[in-house]
Amino acid sequence: MQNTLKPQYGYRIIENGDVLFKRCFESRHFLRIPEAIAVDAEILNEAIAQGVKYVQIFGKESQMYFTTSIKTFKAHCLELDRKFGLQYALIFRYWTNSRDKKIPRKLTIIQNSLPFFSVAK
Instruction: Identify whether the C-beta of residue 39 lies closer than 8 Å to the C-beta of residue 70.
Output: no
- Residue 121 — very low, low, confident or very high, per pLDDT cuts 50/70/90? low
How confident is the prediction for the chain on average, in pLDDT?
Answer: 87
Let me know the angle formed at the C-alpha of 43 by 47 and 107, rounded to the nearest 5 degrees.
50
Q: What is the pLDDT of residue 11?
A: 92
What does pTM read for this prediction?
Answer: 0.82
Could you tell me which residue, 83 or 67, shows the higher pLDDT? 67
The yes-or-no verdict on residue 50 having pLDDT over 80 is: yes
What average pLDDT does the segment 55-80 reach?
96
Is the C-alpha dihedral spanning 83, 44, 16, 112 positive or negative?
A: positive
Cα 24 to Cα 46, 59, 103, 114, distances in angstroms? 20, 5, 18, 39
Instruction: Identify whether the C-beta of residue 57 lies closer than 8 Å to the C-beta of residue 22.
Output: yes
